[in-house]
Amino acid sequence: MGKMWSGRFSESASSLLDRFNASLNFDKKLYEYDIKGSLAHAKMLHTQGILNDQEYQDIVRGMEQVLREIESGDFVFDISDEDIHMAIEKRLTEIIGDAGKKLHTARSRNDQVALDFRLYVQAHNEIIRRLLLELIGTIVDVAEKNRETMLPGMTHLQHAQPINFGYHMMAYASMLKRDYERFESSFRRNNLSPIGCAALAGTPHPIDRKMTAKELGFDAPTLNCLDTVSDRDFALEMLFNIATMMMHISRLSEELILWSSSEFGFVTLSDAYSTGSSIMPQKKNPDVPELLRGKTGRTYGNLVALLTVMKGLPLAYNKDMQEDKEGTFDSVETAEISLTILKEVIATMTINREKMEEACKIGHLSATDLADYLVEKCGIPFREAHFITGRAVALAEQKGVDLSELGYEDLHQIDERIGPDVTEYLSIRHSMNARRSEGGTSTETTKAQIETMQQWLKKQKEE
């Protein structure tokens, strides 16, 4: 059997063209979506009287056999079939005869591939959102258990102000929540059916695009067929959403790498998610967060690659668009395993609370609190308070202690307006809990953030 499109040609395609032109090696991943779309299309053709009862029944029976053959490994993928659409249609026709040739009525490979690919993206959008909810839930669980675990908050990777570890983890939960909302928004915006657009201009056959849209779980058909067959915005959004999510994962991974080092010692990663050295038997390497950090780069590359493919294309479909799938498949698979393994890494790591609290006594983290005390209690202008606090820090440095460890007498010598109640303000825990403004790091405001996130998680899981 020759190629489906070979009627106009007098020469057979070269084997080199088959190798260069074919997408079957990678787009066979779409087989279940191709079959699902074909069955919905056949049902619509039957309802519209374009297929008779027997033809429709034969197509359903034949497609069920094709599906079984693919899933059992008995299906023969031949590169000369070019793509998954032709491979399935050829096998269907071998099984049921001429009825298989009628399935392509009122559609083109242009809208067929747009449908298959969109179904894939939408399905994996839902999977990624579910995995995001699981990861956020795990992070929130860790945060809830560590609302009173002290941690040095940093800017410029320098100790800045005391916070709690739960608060720090809630920052990442907030990032990932935004990621979830981006995927959710993309799903709604792109939940439109391309099938029935045919090559670019629709079809003269009396089809019902609303019926196929409903059958396939879409909200409605797309508006304009010319745009539809040349649109890959849904894939670009998926790639952007994944790249942004992976950037957040990479930032968290970087902190896990730092925190698990000997220099920090804030966390200990589980042996189940660590590796060793081939030459240094004492080593325990944070390979999972390092790989997560590294895999972020490939998701960026996949996004830029598809943007570049699409940037100069005229309407409508162009063969360049065959390059849309491999990068998307790669980013989707990277995202899904990354979310899954990061959840396990966080769930199984040990929090070294004592090390975190010890680190809070390095860097004079309560310096801002002394300045605030001078302003609030002593009526000193902030700029003067800033200078006095600097002198107090210098004295602590001379004594080889943290600012929080200076006594009242030391501070009173620096400025007589300082009272004995100053030591309470210099307490690191007091400093952390003093930041009670909404979104702040106190134990109570952290608790409020956790409760808000838990309510949001519950709502998402119920919907």
In DSSP notation, 183-223 reads HHHHHHHT-EE-TT-TTTT--SS---HHHHHHHTT-SEE-S
* Residue 305: cis peptide before it, omega within 30 degrees of 0: no
Q: Are 268 and 345 in contact (CB under 8 A)?
A: no
Tell me which amino acid residue 213 is: A
Measured distance CA(389)–CA(370) in Å, rounded? 6
CA distances from 367 to 325, 343, 373, 374, 420 (A): 54, 36, 10, 11, 17
Measured distance CA(137)–CA(123) in Å, rounded? 22
User: By CB neighbour count within 10 A (0-12 exposed, 13-18 middle, 19+ buried), where does 104 fall?
Assistant: middle
Measured distance CA(61)–CA(53) in Å, rounded? 12
> In 311-361, at which residue ranges do the beta strands (DSSP E only) sit?
350-351
DSSP state of 29: G
Six-digit token pair at 8?
């106009």
Q: Are 320 and 309 in contact (CB under 8 A)?
A: yes
Q: Which residues are catalytic?
A: 156, 277
Give the helix ranges, DSSP H, for 48-164.
53-72, 84-96, 109-145
Strand pairing category for 192-193 and 220-221: parallel
Other C-beta atoms within 10 Å of 303: how many?
23
Which bin fits 406, alpha (ψ -120 to 50), beta or left (φ > 0)? beta
> In 171-330, at which residue ranges do the beta strands (DSSP E only) sit?
192-193, 220-221, 267-268
Tell me which amino acid residue 38 is: S
Measured distance CA(253)–CA(178) in Å, rounded? 18
